[in-house]
A and B are shown apart, each in its own frame.
Chain A
Amino acid sequence: MSRVETTMMWAEKYRPMALDELVDQEEVRERLRMMLEHPDEMPHLLFAGPPGTGKTTVALIIARTLLGDYWRDYTLELNASDERGIDIVRERIKAFTRYVDMRSGIPFKIVILDEADEMTGDAQTALRRIMEESSRIARFILTANFSSNIIEPIQSRCAVFRFVRLGEKDVAGFMKRICDEEGCEYEEEALYLIYELSSGDMRRAINQLQATAVLGKVTVENVRNVFGVGKRSLVKDMVHAALKEEFNKARGTLLELIRVYGLSEKDIMKFIFEDVMAYKNLDHVEAARLLAEYDYRLSRGSNPEIQLAALLAELGALSRK
């Protein structure tokens, strides 16, 4: 596909292009640096860790480092949460890893399977054989939030790298750099608030920062204002309606979030938790138990919308107590 302009989004514009630019993740960087000195010896890689900590970034850095200017031609980048089924494995991945059609100087092709923990069990099983058969032609780099969702036979074929949640100082420091570069004014405190609101996720932090910068100076007040608009605020409205026992209104918003905007249900759950816990007149222990139960059900059920709708109904009953 031909390229689209991406630099308007800071998270993309400031995505590190080399290992040195990455903040934190010392251990990962050290091990990788050694590994990259002997590309021929490189095994398949599995990057596990929380969102926005650099997994995809590092995968892209490796592709660029090893494949040079033509990395795009020899890299297949797939996001498993968009394409989770077995067909993708059997068709696209298999086709890509079957032929040796490389120019000299390229050690192998690279398949980046982002969010591989979202793949179905069948798809992972199918992948297993391909990873072995194609090992002369291709290397796989898998990323995942939880390595436990990757089936064991695949884990055993990869060198596993654990990415850690980013620290406050590191994230704030990175944001400062961006602000300086973009010439935008900021209050130190505001950056720490952003960190708090984005729980160590650099992607969330940078997007929050940019949205705030649109309003002008990055102040604590503006950060809070920005937090109150957009899809994030829809969740807040939804929780509010649910707690006021306005189920139909709350579910209407849920439908918008899922079916119009296509937000991730897991993230909606995360946001609901943040919002419910911010409510004063509520039994927080009961609320936490309820949310824990539905978080679990969300991962177990077959229709996430039904699970979240049921949660909204239960929140209405909870607020009564």
Chain B
Amino acid sequence: MGHIEFHQVTKRFDNGHEALKDISVEFDEGSMTFLTGHSGAGKSTFLKLLMCLDQPSRGQILVNGVNVTQISPRRLAYYRQNLGAVYQDHHLLAHRTVFDNVALPLRVSGMREKDIVRRVRAALSRVGLLPKEQLFPGHLSTGEQQRVGIARAVVPRPKILLADEPTGNLDPELSQDIMHLFEQFKQVGTTVIIASHDHDLIESMNSRIIELGNGSIVGDRIDGHV
């Protein structure tokens, strides 16, 4: 549960712009990969296709051998329950507390409230936000909001973890800490893909690095080897 394969995926937007061009790439279960590249290279588009927030114009995206671009709404919902995602614009609910925001995926999956409290507290304390669990997102700094988003992504213990610029608003020390959190998930078998253009951070992680440029893969290396 967590093998991902892009097979000749092209994404062309309505205005004719090709954000991804004939991408073919594979991710093993329990691997950790950084997607990098200049702004506008197609990193967010790549992740959005994998989250099924948009459809590719051509090609297939296989997760465990199933083409997720063509699954029923119900299976898509179950797929997303197994997917942890950190969004560039957080997608937090302004009228719910930090606690309730993080609890959302667990409530959707019907977990017992007792277990929810335990797991949400654990996730919040992991990202250092336990003291602020009763605040509303509007009262948090951008970096804190981002950490709420991260806690919500990891709280269901997903099989696949996708993050779009998760450390964009965090200082280096916190960024490093969040990366270690992701690495812990990788170690228990979660497939992790992180879009980031923070070179120093990426280089420090000894992971696979895929570089996008104008919608194509221009580099794919592990730990400095091409």
Partners in one complex: no
Q: Which positions in A face B, CB cutoff 8 Å? A: none
